[in-house]
């Protein structure tokens, strides 16, 4: 065979490999999109549950909490629940801060569980976001814009005390504050 044929063959093989890789990456991106969406739904649900519990706490134990704490808590719970409140992270942070100030004996029995669920859901959501972002950051998938019109998913960062457990070299490695 002539050198030309060889070159043509080589180009064909390269093209095939590239096509295979592209379809594979597209599959991964689509799968990750689903994972981000599902984990967001769970996180959204967990945050709403926490806000509802906070509102219930303000309603039912208002007298023990004191007027100021009660009204602040009710406002923060409403802020976290209302989609119109522009910055969800700030609203959730405000609510979380107020909830942490409530004495343990006044907390509703489900509160601790709701907190744990928010922490888990947030970690799993951010995990999905991180996997998506790192795949999209690869040079080839960036150059070929394999993500299409999908928006880049955002990390959801609130202060829930979840990141305190890792010490040492990986302390900052987990959460790349997005």
Please tell me whether residue 164 binds other proteins under the rule CB under 8 A. Answer: no
Strand (E) or helix (H) holding 137:
none
Joined together, the tokens standing for residue 36 give 């981000």
Please tell me whether residue 116 binds other proteins under the rule CB under 8 A. Answer: yes
Q: How far is CA 47 from the centre of its chain?
A: 12
By C-beta, is 130 or 150 nearer to other proteins? Answer: 130
Please tell me whether residue 167 binds other proteins under the rule CB under 8 A. Answer: yes
Whether 158 contacts 122, CB under 8 Å: yes
C-alpha atoms less than 13 angstroms from C-alpha of 59 in its C-beta half-sphere: 8
Q: Near other proteins by CB under 8 A, which window of 55-63, 70-78, 79-87, 111-119? A: 111-119
By C-beta, is 45 or 66 nearer to other proteins? Answer: 45
Q: Near other proteins by CB under 8 A, which window of 25-33, 81-89, 92-100, 104-112? A: 25-33
Measured between alpha carbons, how far is 35 from 54 in angstroms, rounded to an integer? 29
Please tell me whether residue 117 binds other proteins under the rule CB under 8 A. Answer: yes
């Amino acid at each position: 065979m002539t050198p030309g044929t060889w070159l043509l063959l080589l180009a064909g093989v390269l093209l095939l490999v590239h096509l295979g890789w592209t379809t594979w990456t597209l599959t991964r991106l689509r799968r990750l999109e689903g994972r981000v969406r599902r984990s967001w739904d769970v996180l959204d649900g967990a945050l709403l549950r926490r806000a509802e519990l906070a509102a219930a706490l303000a309603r039912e134990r208002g007298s023990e909490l004191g007027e100021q704490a009660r009204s602040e808590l009710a406002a923060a719970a409403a802020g976290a629940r209302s989609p119109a409140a522009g910055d969800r992270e700030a609203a959730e942070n405000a609510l979380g801060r107020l909830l942490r100030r409530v004495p343990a004996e006044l907390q509703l029995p489900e509160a601790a569980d709701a907190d744990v669920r928010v922490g888990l859901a947030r970690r799993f959501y951010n995990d999905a976001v991180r996997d998506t972002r790192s795949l999209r950051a690869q040079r080839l998938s960036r150059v070929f814009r394999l993500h299409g019109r999908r928006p880049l998913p955002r990390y959801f960062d609130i202060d829930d005390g979840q990141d305190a457990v890792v010490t040492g070299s990986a302390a900052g490695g987990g959460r790349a504050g997005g």
